[in-house]
Amino acid sequence: MWDKRCRLVTVTCVDLIDSLELTYSFDHNLELVHLRVKAEKDRPFPSISGIYYAAFLVENEIQDQFGLRFDNLHPDYQGFMLLSRDAPRTPMLRQVEERGRNEDAV
């Protein structure tokens, strides 16, 4: 998108339970263009902060809220840009509850 002279607007993240979906929103000549990609929760994802410096803010926020690690993120707050050390980790991840045996016996 950089070569098309697009401006980064934001990056959003959604927990799909088995993966995360990142939506990159760009402005191109006053029109929004979106790029959606899936990221595995347990594997680092490439940072775009080397191309769009301001992306470090939303990428660090995604690390805080969803636990997705970004490769080559600079500056990297290691999951503590918004959250304090004693705050619950990854508050935006869905908690998949295992069904108990009692529920099956109804």
Residue 22 makes CB contacts below 8 A (sequence gap 6+) with: 11, 12, 13, 36, 37, 38, 39, 45, 62
pLDDT bucket at 88, cuts 50 / 70 / 90? confident
Give the SS3 label for residue 1: coil
Q: Which residue has the higher pLDDT, 43 or 5?
A: 43
Q: What is the CATH number of domain 2-81?
A: 3.30.460.80
Averaged pLDDT for residues 89-96: 82
Under 8 Å between Cβ of 92 and 65:
yes
Listed range (13-27, 56-70, 80-94) with the worst mean pLDDT: 80-94
Domain ranges (residues) in the chain: 2-81
Which residue do the tokens 């990854």 mark?
Answer: 90
How far apart are the C-alpha atoms of 13 and 34, rounded to whole Å?
13
**pTM tops 0.85:** no
